[in-house]
A and B are shown apart, each in its own frame.
Chain A
Amino acid sequence: EPEVTQTPSHQVTQMGQEVILRCVPISNHLYFYWYRQILGQKVEFLVSFYNNEISEKSEIFDDQFSVERPDGSNFTLKIRSTKLEDSAMYFCASSPDIYQPQHFGDGTRLSIL
């Protein structure tokens, strides 16, 4: 069964540095999403992406964050000037359309030191 894959599984970065989290969605899916889960807290929506543009973003997704689909397969989340509170699990998801369930990757654990 096709899967959403995320790399790296664990990223350790110094505070203030930029980090790029990578995702390969399922190939025939059209909608892409990023979520985060701070340790012990709920899964929080960050952004949805369709037709090469952001379709919805949460209040968490400020100017520090950006997403890109640089080619036909990858979907990236860039975090600039990372802060300690950016430490979390970041999940990528994709779906064939908005009325279909989202398929999640196993996440990237981001640790900011």
Chain B
Amino acid sequence: DQQVKQNSPSLSVQEGRISILNCDYTNSMFDYFLWYKKYPAEGPTFLISISSIKDKNEDGRFTVFLNKSAKHLSLHIVPSQPGDSAVYFCAATNTNAGKSTFGDGTTLTVKP
């Protein structure tokens, strides 16, 4: 039972355009959601998060949207830069259980 799904294994966008990464979840007990970025041979690096009481959180070029009724979140990167090329993981946390579940990851390639 895959509770957190990232249905697109890869995404390629042109520099300067918008990148939209999507994530779906099934467990209604998740109440805190995060996006991490990962380069090869490094651990995941936190990007941005959102609590279930909000529907949007913005930090510079990164915006996360949460649609609780659809159990869907997305990460928007505007404008995309070549340095954004990495694997992006969404993670959903049940804070009562202290457990985070990760999606499979989406490899983003931003072309110059």
Residues of A within 8 A of B (CB): 4, 31, 33, 35, 41-45, 48, 50, 55-56, 58, 91, 93, 98-99, 101-107
Contacts and interface: CB of A to CB of B under 8 A. Distances in A.
Interface string B71-112: 000000000000000000100010101111111110000000
Interface in B39-66: 41-46, 49, 51
Interface residues of B, number: 23
Interface string B15-45: 0000000000000000010101000011111
Given A99-B32, A101-B34, A56 B99 contact: yes
Nearest to A55: B98
18 contacts: A31-B98, A35-B102, A42-B102, A42-B103, A45-B99, A45-B100, A45-B101, A45-B102, A48-B98, A48-B99, A56-B98, A98-B32, A99-B51, A101-B34, A101-B46, A101-B49, A104-B43, A106-B41
A101 B35 CA distance: 9
Nearest to A98: B95
Interface of B: 32, 34, 36, 41-46, 49, 51, 89, 93, 95, 97-105
Contacts, number: 55
